Amino acid sequence: MSRQSSDSILLFIMRHGEAEDLRRDDKSRKLTDFGRTQAVTTSRWLAKYSPDHAIDLALVSPYQRTRQTFDMMTEDNKFSEMQLCDDIIPDGDVRLAHDYIDAMLAQARKLPMNNVLVVSHMPFVSYFVDELCRTQRTALFATGSVAVIRYSLVRHQGELLEHYQG
């Protein structure tokens, strides 16, 4: 499925795959074998939204488990660009991240994007979907799950199309 219209884009908001238990440092937790499998399964599922397996941009939390999730996603998808983003950590500010995406997409109007993947954490992903769609649902995200949002570049608001739970 390609872009819906010239004034919208698809946003894929994903929670990382299953990670090992917390030890000393939350930032350095790695994916489990099951978490790697979840990332690959989700990556393959996303193909229905991007038949050519091309995703324009990935914004990835700098935590180890999100970077590993992104790495697993590259086995089945081609990414034009990847950026580590300190604003999308577990306790990140969803309004700041929303403003960042709006500013980035406004700059990209000259070279339109069709889709953007955000790989982050709970509770950020739940609150971020609510912020983008202007809802108060606060849906729980299982590890490896992804919300698909059609995002209006004019209204700066999204519509939840699907929530894949893996």
Q: Is 5 a residue whose pLDDT tops 80?
A: no
Longest dimension (CA), the chain: 47
127/110 Cα distance (integer angstroms): 30
* Mean pLDDT, the chain, whole residue set: 92
Single pTM value for the model: 0.94
**Helix residue ranges per DSSP H, 10-91:** 33-45, 64-73
Q: Give pLDDT, residue 137.
A: 85
Could you confirm whether domain 8-18+30-164 is CATH 2.60.120.200?
no
pLDDT in tens, 59-117: 999 999 999 999 999 988 999 999 999 999 999 999 999 999 999 888 876 667 899 99
What are the boundaries of each domain within the chain?
A: 8-18+30-164
